[in-house]
């Protein structure tokens, strides 16, 4: 199994609010950026998934804010697939400040696999190559996944 590089970047000015910290809603966008990065690193880029006619709508999302990020602060996002059954998955996220090493946000999102008409798919039967990538990384700890 290939190790994955964490998703990393700096906080953009437009992501901050009047208090000078990242607005809470932007962490959900960062989760999505990290998810797209993770899939690419795992060998299954999002355009390939969508090109196969597979969608991954969000069923739920949550975030626990521990320490705010500020403009121009570098952070890394680590994620792992906690649960996967071929039809649904749950992903956990951990955002870490590269400046301080502190965990700033932890969260999760749940998704299902659908076709373009939003009918639920069973990837194991219809898309085994997609199933195999998710199954390979499912249930691993952060330390097992990342460089």
Three-state SS annotation for 13-73:
HHHECCCCEECHHHHHHHHHHHHHHHHHHCCCCHHHHHHCCCECCEEEEEEEECCCCECCC
| Residues annotated catalytic, as ranges | 17
Show Cβ contacts of residue 125 under 8 Å, excluding neighbours closer than 6 positions: 86
What 8-state DSSP symbol labels residue 5?
P
Contact at 8 Å (CB) between 17 and 23? yes
């Amino acid at each position: 199994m290939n190790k994955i590089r964490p998703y990393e970047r700096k906080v953009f000015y437009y992501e901050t609010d009047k208090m000078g910290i990242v607005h809470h809603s932007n962490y959900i966008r960062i989760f999505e950026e990290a998810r797209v990065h993770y899939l690419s690193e795992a060998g299954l880029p999002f355009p390939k998934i969508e090109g196969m006619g597979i969608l991954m709508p969000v069923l739920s999302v949550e975030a626990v804010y521990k320490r705010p990020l500020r403009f121009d602060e570098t952070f890394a996002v680590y994620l792992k697939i906690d649960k996967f059954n071929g039809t649904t998955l749950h992903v956990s996220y951990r955002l870490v400040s590269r400046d301080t090493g502190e965990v700033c946000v932890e969260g999760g999102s749940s998704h299902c696999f659908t076709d373009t008409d939003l009918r639920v798919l069973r990837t194991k039967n219809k898309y085994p190559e997609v199933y195999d990538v998710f199954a390979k990384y499912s249930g691993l700890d952060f330390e097992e996944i990342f460089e």
